[in-house]
Amino acid sequence: MPGRDYQIRDTRFSGVSVASVNAITTLATPQAVAAAAADHIASALDVIGGPATLGLAGGGTPQATYRELALRDVAWEDITMWLGDERWVAHNHPESNVGMVRGALVDSVNGHLLAPNHAIGDPHAAAAAYETALGSAFVDRGQGKAPDIVLLGIGDDGHTASLFPGTAALESAHLGYLANWVEAKDAWRLTATLPLLWSAEQLVFIVTGEGKAPIVKEILIESKPYPAQRAAESALLATWFLDEAAASLLGEAG
C-alpha cells in the first residue's frame, strides 16, 4: 500500500512511528473514549451517507462504545453491521461476539447484523460462507467492494480481530475471511484477514486500561510487528482512541 500522510492530535506523542496513523485521540477515562469514538463513528457514517457497512469488534472494551453509539442519530436502516471476528461457538454462548454486539447495540437500534452461521458445523465452511455474504454487503466506492468502517481492539499479545501472533491466518494473502486455529486458546476463531482490513476505508482502534499501555507503546512507538501494528501500518486510514491509562507510556523515550 502507498504511504499516507498522517496527523497526531496529541502532540505529546509526536514520536509515534506507525506510518499510517492518521489520528490518535486520548481522553481521560474509558467512558470518555466510548463517547468520543461513538461520535466519530456516527459522524463518519453520516458523511458516507446511504448504504454502508460497519465492522464490529468483539471482547469487552468496545461494549461501552456500542452502548453510546446506540444513542446517536444514525440511519441504521442503511447500515449493515458485521463482525471482524467471531469465536467458534453458538450465538447464544456467553463468549459469542454475535451475542455481545446484539445485546450492546444491534437489538436496541433494530439494526441489521450479518453474522457467521455457526450451524454450518465446520469453521472453514462457515468462514467461506460468511466471506461470500460480506462480498454481497460491501459497497463499491470506485475501487471494488470493500468495508467502510471497521472497529478493532488489541489484546495484551498484540492481536487484533482474531489475528493472533504465530497463527496461519495472520500470514494469509487472502482478501477475505478465514477460520484460524489459535493454539493459545485451543480453539477455532473466524477472522477477517489483514488484506481485508487494509481494504477498509477506515480502521478505528479503541483501547483502554493501564494493562494495555505496554503493548500500545510497542505498537505505536517501537513499531514492533504485532498483528495490530501490521493492520494499522498498511491501513488506508487508522484512527486510535485511547484513554490516558492506555496512553501512559507513549511519552517515554525508547
Question: Is residue 206 helix, strand or coil?
Answer: strand
- The pLDDT score that the predictor gives to residue 21 is 57
* C-alpha cell belonging to residue 169: 491466518
- Summarised one tens digit per residue, pLDDT across range 93-111 is 999 999 999 999 999 999 9
* R_g (Cα) of the chain, nearest Å: 17
Fold of 11-186+195-243: Rossmann fold (3.40.50)
pLDDT band at 13, cuts 50/70/90? very low
pLDDT band at 190, cuts 50/70/90? very high
pLDDT band at 22, cuts 50/70/90? low
- Summarised one tens digit per residue, pLDDT across range 198-230 is 999 999 999 999 999 999 999 999 999 999 999
Give the predicted TM-score (pTM) of the model: 0.91
The answer to whether the beta carbons of residues 247 and 31 sit under 8 Å apart is no
The per-residue pLDDT of the chain, averaged, comes to 91
For residue 206, which of 69, 92, 89 has the smallest C-alpha distance?
69
Residues 6+ apart with CB under 8 A from 46: 74, 75
The answer to whether the beta carbons of residues 220 and 240 sit under 8 Å apart is yes
Share above pLDDT 70 across residues of the chain, in percent, rounded to a whole number: 90
pLDDT band at 251, cuts 50/70/90? confident
Q: What is the mean pLDDT of residues 113-123?
A: 97
For residue 185, which of 102, 36, 85 has the smallest C-alpha distance?
85
Phi, psi (rounded to 5 degrees) for 142: 115, -15
Which residue ranges make up each domain of the chain?
11-186+195-243
Q: What is the mean pLDDT of residues 177-202?
A: 97
